[in-house]
Amino acid sequence: MKSSRYSGLWLVVAAMCLAGCGRQQIERVEWPIMGTIAAVQVRGYPDEWGHVSAYAMGVFKDVSEALNAHVSTSELSRLAMLDDGEILEKCDAQMKPCYEAAFKLMHESGSAFNPRWKGTNTLDLGAIAKGFAVDLASSMAPGVGPIDAIIDLGGNLKALRSEDGSYRPWRTGVRDPFGDGFAAVVELREGEALATSATYYRGSHIYDGRTGLAVSNGVASVTVLCNSAMWADGLSTTLFVLGPEEGKKFLDDKLKLLVGDMEVSALWIMDGGRQEIYGNARFQGN
């Protein structure tokens, strides 16, 4: 799990306007939320920029207020002392998918991912809540007409779906943990999400939910690509804790139980720069 103000998922996967951007205008708005920076980028449809941004701001605020482990009056804090089943019965219906995914991932990973890593009567969804918020915000896309945009919450990225078939991929860089550049580049296709767990900035802040101790397994970062920002978020933490060998076995054994037929790719970057890939190797430059 990750220790920080609210979620601790300092993901430094930079959304870049690279070769795919052409000459279309890009509008971008940023704001602070959930202990990090949120952003919306819209390409080619500037009239929709304000609408998408306003919607995302509202969704992120709602999720932050409900799932903030550092505020005693939040829903999450009030429910923390209940058992998992009671939490699922009493939580807000809109937030329920986040709780369900966290508990499911805890069970299937043998608590490597553990929202109760600080103790039985505690609860922290910081390693999955940002991705959940991005999925929730992106779910509005079909209601606003043709749109070509990325929603970003602390590096949890998701490309919105367009309605007119005009979508072109956004190229996204995975930061090199050992330098200023990028270790890999991936095209983020319509409806796809990307998340990274890493030791950038603050050293070893990711904790093994099985032991409560900081992870020290030679992993520098893990990036996950799939069609759900929530699952990309949660799986990136889990795979960081497990490391590439155990992580690949976990994905082989448990992925279908967790996400059904959703395609998932993962990129581990180890201390020293060695890279390990799982799934469709769309990470260019590795």
Confidence of residue 12 (pLDDT cuts 50, 70, 90): very low
Residue 120: per-residue pLDDT: 86
Interhelix angle 49-66/129-138, nearest 10 degrees:
140
Residue 215 phi/psi, 5-degree rounding, is -75, 135
Of 123, 170, 237, nearest to 18 by C-alpha is 170
- CA quadruple 189, 206, 175, 62: dihedral sign: positive
Is the pLDDT confidence value at 85 over 80?
yes
Tokens of 93: 């219906």
Tokens of 228: 């759900």
What are the sequence ranges of the domains in the chain? 13-278
In the predicted model, what is the mean pLDDT of the chain? 86
Residue 18: per-residue pLDDT: 36
CB 169 within 8 A of CB 187: yes
Tokens of 122: 């505690």
Is the pLDDT confidence value at 13 over 70?
no
Q: Where are the alpha helices (DSSP H) in the chain?
A: 49-66, 75-79, 84-90, 96-108, 129-138, 229-259
Residue 1: per-residue pLDDT: 65
8-17, 38-47, 153-162, 217-226: least confident range: 8-17
Burial tier of 154 (Cβ tally within 10 Å: 0-12, 13-18, 19+): buried
Residue 74: per-residue pLDDT: 97
6-15, 114-123, 126-135, 232-241: least confident range: 6-15
Q: What percent of the chain has pLDDT over 90?
A: 65
8 three-class SS: coil
Mean pLDDT of 14-27: 49
Confidence of residue 15 (pLDDT cuts 50, 70, 90): very low
15-29, 95-109, 174-188, 250-264: least confident range: 15-29
pLDDT tens digits along 205-228: 789 999 999 998 999 999 999 999
Q: Higher-confidence residue: 203 or 205? A: 205
Q: Which residues contact 179 (CB under 8 A, 6 or more apart)?
A: none
Q: Higher-confidence residue: 140 or 90? A: 90
Q: List, as one string, the DSSP characters of 168-207.
A: -PEEEEEEPTTSSSEEEEEEE-TT-EEEEEE-TTTSS-BB
Q: Which residues pair with 226 in a beta bridge?
A: 193
Confidence of residue 11 (pLDDT cuts 50, 70, 90): very low
Q: How far is CA 13 from the centre of its chain?
A: 10
pLDDT tens digits along 108-164: 999 999 999 998 899 999 999 999 999 999 986 545 555 788 999 999 999 986 666
Residue 285 phi/psi, 5-degree rounding, is 95, -5
CB 230 within 8 A of CB 236: no
pLDDT tens digits along 251-278: 999 999 999 999 999 999 999 999 999 9
Report the topology of domain 13-278.
T-fold (3.10.520)
**Number of other CB atoms surrounding residue 20 within 10 Å:** 15
Task: Report how far apart the first and last C-alpha atoms of the chain are (Å, whole number).
Answer: 26
Confidence of residue 45 (pLDDT cuts 50, 70, 90): low
Q: Highest-confidence range of 40-44, 158-162, 169-173, by mean pLDDT?
A: 169-173
